[in-house]
């Protein structure tokens, strides 16, 4: 493994992730890897496969050149050419809650919705 390349990709991924206000768990879920694996990737402990690199580029809104250290980091604010800068989607707590709710059965999701509505009325 090329340790320098792994460190470069990991550092660029971390910068892009924090710019988007995402957690490691958020990115791991979006690129379909375990959170621990994504953490190892950011720390430079492993190189991503080409398929994972492509998913990272898509989810972090960066070019492969930027992740590979071949272009200036953040030259266009993390957006693709011709796109406006990316705005944060939702707060980290909301994303964590969504990850917790997704696997629940529909009846439990409905109950959770009722509880949330009751809390919102207060």
Residue 113 vs residues 1, 75, 102: alpha-carbon distances, Å: 48, 42, 13
Same domain? 33 vs 64: yes
Give the per-residue pLDDT at 92: 80
Indicate the number of domains in the chain.
Answer: 2
Q: Does 59 fall in a domain? A: yes
Residue with the bigger pLDDT between 97 and 77: it is 97
Is residue 11 located within the same domain as residue 68? yes
Is residue 78 in a domain?
A: no
Q: What pLDDT sits at residue 97?
A: 83
Average pLDDT across the chain, whole number: 84
User: How much is the average pLDDT of 24-28?
Assistant: 94
Give the domain range for residue 45. Answer: 3-73
The predicted-structure confidence for 90-109, as pLDDT tens digits, reads as follows 678 888 888 888 888 988 88
Residue 13 domain flag: yes
């Amino acid at each position: 493994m090329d340790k320098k390349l792994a460190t470069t990709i990991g550092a660029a991924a971390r910068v892009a992730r924090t710019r988007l206000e995402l957690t490691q768990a958020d990115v791991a879920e979006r690129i379909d890897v375990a959170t621990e694996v994504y953490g190892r990737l950011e720390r430079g402990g492993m190189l991503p496969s080409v398929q994972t690199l492509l998913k990272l580029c898509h989810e972090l809104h960066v070019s492969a050149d930027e992740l590979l250290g071949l272009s200036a980091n953040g030259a266009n604010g993390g957006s693709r050419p011709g796109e406006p800068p990316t705005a944060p989607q939702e707060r980290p707590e909301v994303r964590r809650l969504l990850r917790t709710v997704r696997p629940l059965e529909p009846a439990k999701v409905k109950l959770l919705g009722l509880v949330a509505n009751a809390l919102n009325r207060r």
